[in-house]
Amino acid sequence: MKNTTLKQKLKNKENTVGSWITIPHQSVIDILAEAGFDWLCIDLEHTAIDYNEVQVLIGFIQARGMAALVRVSKNEEVVIKRVLDSGADGIVVPMICNADEAKQAVEYAKYPPVGKRGVGLNRAQRYGFGFEDYRKWVDDNQVIIAQIEHYEGVNNLETIIETPGIDGVFIGPYDLSSSLGIPGQFNNALVQEALQKFEKICIEKNFSMGYHVIDPEFELVREKSKAGYNFIAFSTDFLFMGRRAFAEMNNLKA
């Protein structure tokens, strides 16, 4: 059930490309699996996906040989516990701005003595028939990604990545630009300065860094890869579908 390779790839700074799931349907996952993604991330922060759907989607993703990540709605104990007990390979935690918040996310995801996660017996623990195996799996293979979405997170990046248990840091470009008062202006000098600082620290510390490339254009992914990003979210399910539909319909109308 568990994908045991993504954490090692992050540690080795191997390139991985995933995408964002906002449409809770098996067909979407099957199509993206055929395209060859390494992982898929289910978005609980900005969608209407519920917890029951999350568990079903995690199973579909893992059945297709991909790592199943969940972007939780916030850095909060219960939501993190529920998605991990549902069997997620890892979590993306939004709006991490300092080391204390990073440490808090790790504590919510890890069992004592490392963290303070409560013990439940759900899909991840094989409904009580595999808790000890799962506990060891958490230690060796669970992935925790800190999403850096605010300029304070960039300013505190060095201490965030030094937090034990954090496997990678991931830029959310829209919220980062919003924190600077210029939402969506990714090419603005302030955003570029923040990104350059982010990249410089990660490269110097030899730490896995990620980025969400919003537009479904492979050249943009290639640019980020050349810049040193190794954990790249490539667009979203609805943008892959919508952009092609818009383009072809515009061609047809013309």
- Taking the domains of the chain in order of start, what are their residue ranges? 6-253
CATH 3.90.1300.10 fits 6-253, yes or no: no
Average model confidence (pLDDT) across the chain = 96
pTM: 0.95
3-state secondary structure of 68: strand
Does the N-terminal peptide bond of residue 24 adopt cis geometry, omega within 30 degrees of 0?
no
Residue 212 annotated among the catalytic residues of the structure? no
Per-residue model confidence (pLDDT) at position 85: 98
* pLDDT at residue 44 tops 50: yes
Distance CA(96)–CA(103), nearest Å, equals: 10
Per-residue model confidence (pLDDT) at position 2: 46
CB atoms within 10 A of CB 88: 30
Asked whether 5 and 39 are in contact (CB, 8 A), the reply is: no
Per-residue model confidence (pLDDT) at position 3: 43
Smallest CA-to-CA distance from 198 within 168, 234, 242 is with 168
Average pLDDT over residues 154-164: 98
Average pLDDT over residues 183-187: 94
Asked whether 44 and 54 are in contact (CB, 8 A), the reply is: yes
Per-residue model confidence (pLDDT) at position 1: 39
> Measured between alpha carbons, how far is residue 1 from residues 9, 124, 136, 230 in Å?
18, 9, 14, 24
Q: 32: pLDDT confidence band, cut at 50, 70 and 90?
A: very high
Average pLDDT over residues 156-171: 98
* pLDDT at residue 199 tops 80: yes
Residue 22, strand partner residues: none
**Pick the catalytic residue: 25, 46, 150, 212?**
46
Average pLDDT over residues 190-216: 97
pLDDT digits (tens, 9 = 90+) for 14-23: 999 999 999 9
* pLDDT at residue 69 tops 90: yes
Q: DSSP per residue over 100-115, as a string?
A: HHHHHHHHHHS-TTT-
Q: Which residues of 233-248 are buried (b: 16+ CB within 10 A; e: fewer)?
A: bbbbbebbeeeeeeee
The enclosing H or E element of 220 equals helix 218-226
pLDDT digits (tens, 9 = 90+) for 48-57: 999 999 999 9
Query: What's the gap between Cα 218 and its chain centre?
Result: 19
Residue carrying structure tokens 């992935």: 143
* pLDDT at residue 207 tops 70: yes
Q: 5: pLDDT confidence band, cut at 50, 70 and 90?
A: confident
HEC string for 21-45: ECCCCHHHHHHHHHHCCCEEEEECC
pLDDT digits (tens, 9 = 90+) for 83-114: 999 999 999 999 999 999 999 999 999 999 99
